[in-house]
Chain A
Amino acid sequence: MTDTAIKGVPAEDDPRSRVPLAEPGTGLTKITDTVAGIAERPETPKAWYVAFTIALSLLGVLGAMLAYLIWNGVGVWGNNNPVFWGWPIVNFVFWVGIGHAGTLISAILFLTRQNWRTSINRFAEAMTIFAVACAAIFPGVHIGRVWLAFYLFPLPNQMQMWPNFRSPLLWDVFAVGTYATVSLLFWYMGMVPDLATLRDRARHKVRRFAYGLLSLGWTGSGRQWSRFEKAYLILAGLATPLVLSVHSVVSFDFAVSQLPGWHTTIFPPYFVAGAVFSGFAMVVTLMVPARQFFGLKHLITMNHLEVMNKIILTTGSMVGYAYAMEFFIAWYSGNAYEKFAFINRAFGPYAWAYWTMVSCNVISPQIFWFKKARRSIPIMMVVAVFVNIGMWFERFVITVTSLHRDFLPSSWGYYRPTPVDMLTFLGSFGLFFTLFLLFCRFLPMVAMAEVKTVVPEGHAGHGHGHKEGASHE
Chain B
Amino acid sequence: MSSKQAAAPVEQGPAGVLGVFHDVDSLLAACRRMRDAGFTRWEAHSPFPVHGLDEAAGIKPTVLPWIVLACGLTGTSCAILMQWWMNAHDYAYIISGKPFFSLPANIPVAFEMTILFSAFAAFFGMLGLNKFPTWSNPLFRVPEFERVTADRFAIVVDAKDPNFKADGGFLKQIGAKEVVVVPADPSSGKFPLWFHGLGAVATLAAMIPVALILRARFVTSEKPQIHVVPDMDFQWKNKAQTSSSVFADQRTMRLPVEGTISVDQPVDANLLDFRNGASTVQVEGVGTFRNDLPMEVTEELLAMGEERYAIYCAPCHGRGGYGDGPIHQRANGLSKDTNWVQPRNLQSEVGLALSTGQIYDAITNGKGTMQPYASQLSVEERWAVVAYIRALQRSQNATTADLPAGVQPEESK
Q: How far is the CB of A166 from chain B (nearest CB, A)?
A: 4
Known: A221-B45, A225-B46, A235-B119. A216 touches B132 (CB 8 A): yes
Say which residue of B23, B54, B83, B86 sits within 8 Å of A222 (CB atoms): B54
By the criterion CB–CB under 8 Å, are B146 and A201 in contact?
yes
Which of A2-10, A55-63, A346-354, A457-465 interfaces with chain B?
A457-465
Say which residue of B25, B26, B90, B149 sits within 8 Å of A196 (CB atoms): B149
Q: How far is the CB of A170 from chain B (nearest CB, A)?
A: 7
Q: Which residues, 183 to 239 on A, are CB-close (under 8 Å) to B? A: 185-186, 189, 193, 196-197, 199-201, 205, 208, 212-213, 216-231, 234-235, 238-239
A83 contacts B by Cβ under 8 Å: no
By the criterion CB–CB under 8 Å, are A449 and B49 in contact?
yes
Q: How far is the CA of A223 from the CA of B58 in the complex (A)?
A: 10
Complex interface: chain A residues within 8 A of B52 (CB): 460
Encoded as 1 (CB less than 8 Å from any A CB) or 0, chain B from 108 to 137 comes to: 110111011011101101110110111111
Q: How far is the CB of A195 from chain B (nearest CB, A)?
A: 9
Say which residue of A32, A186, A225, A458 sits within 8 Å of B24 (CB atoms): A458
Complex interface: chain B residues within 8 A of A230 (CB): 61-62, 64-65, 126
Say which residue of A167, A170, A452 sits within 8 Å of B48 (CB atoms): A452
Complex interface: chain A residues within 8 A of B264 (CB): none
Known: A174-B108, A174-B109, A235-B119. A27 touches B47 (CB 8 A): no
Q: Which residues, 83 to 115 on B, are CB-close (under 8 Å) to A? A: 83, 86-87, 90-91, 93, 95, 98, 102, 105-106, 108-109, 111-113, 115
By the criterion CB–CB under 8 Å, are A228 and B115 in contact?
no
Complex interface: chain A residues within 8 A of B93 (CB): 164
Complex interface: chain B residues within 8 A of A145 (CB): 229, 231
B313 contacts A by Cβ under 8 Å: no
Q: How far is the CA of A64 from the CA of B311 in the complex (A)?
A: 65
Complex interface: chain B residues within 8 A of A22 (CB): none
A335 contacts B by Cβ under 8 Å: no
Encoded as 1 (CB less than 8 Å from any B CB) or 0, chain A from 148 to 188 comes to: 00000010000011111111101100110110011001100
Say which residue of B43, B108, B119 sits within 8 Å of A221 (CB atoms): B43
Known: A145-B231, A189-B123. A238 touches B23 (CB 8 A): no
Interface residues on B, range: 35 or more
Q: How far is the CA of A468 from the CA of B122 in the complex (A)?
A: 40
Complex interface: chain A residues within 8 A of B127 (CB): 216
Nearest B residue (CB) for A154: B86
Nearest A residue (CB) for B156: A221
Nearest B residue (CB) for A234: B122
B6 contacts A by Cβ under 8 Å: no
Complex interface: chain B residues within 8 A of A218 (CB): 132, 149
Q: How far is the CA of A274 from the CA of B83 in the complex (A)?
A: 31
A147 contacts B by Cβ under 8 Å: yes
Complex interface: chain B residues within 8 A of A196 (CB): 149
Q: How far is the CA of A223 from the CA of B93 in the complex (A)?
A: 52
Q: How far is the CA of A225 from the CA of B61 in the complex (A)?
A: 11
Say which residue of A28, A234, A460 sits within 8 Å of B64 (CB atoms): A234
Q: How far is the CA of A234 from the CA of B134 in the complex (A)?
A: 23
A53 contacts B by Cβ under 8 Å: no
Q: How far is the CA of A182 from the CA of B148 in the complex (A)?
A: 29
Say which residue of B45, B119, B145, B150 sits within 8 Å of A182 (CB atoms): B119
By the criterion CB–CB under 8 Å, are A460 and B130 in contact?
no
B1 contacts A by Cβ under 8 Å: yes
B273 contacts A by Cβ under 8 Å: no
By the criterion CB–CB under 8 Å, are B59 and A154 in contact?
no
Encoded as 1 (CB less than 8 Å from any A CB) or 0, chain B from 29 to 45 comes to: 00100000000000111
Nearest A residue (CB) for B64: A230
Say which residue of B61, B116, B123, B149 sits within 8 Å of A178 (CB atoms): B116
A242 contacts B by Cβ under 8 Å: yes
Known: A165-B86, A458-B48. A225 touches B112 (CB 8 A): no
Q: How far is the CB of A189 from chain B (nearest CB, A)?
A: 6
By the criterion CB–CB under 8 Å, are B126 and A227 in contact?
yes
By the criterion CB–CB under 8 Å, are B112 and A450 in contact?
no
By the criterion CB–CB under 8 Å, are A182 and B116 in contact?
yes
B344 contacts A by Cβ under 8 Å: no
A301 contacts B by Cβ under 8 Å: no
Q: How far is the CA of A408 from the CA of B176 in the complex (A)?
A: 82
| Interface CB pairs A-B, < 8 A, 18 | A145-B231, A160-B91, A165-B105, A167-B95, A171-B112, A199-B149, A200-B146, A216-B132, A231-B125, A245-B115, A448-B47, A452-B48, A458-B24, A458-B50, A460-B50, A463-B23, A463-B26, A464-B23
Other than A160-B90, A226-B54, give 11 A-B pairs with Cβ distance below 8 A. A28-B47, A160-B91, A165-B87, A178-B112, A185-B119, A200-B149, A225-B46, A226-B59, A231-B64, A239-B119, A448-B48
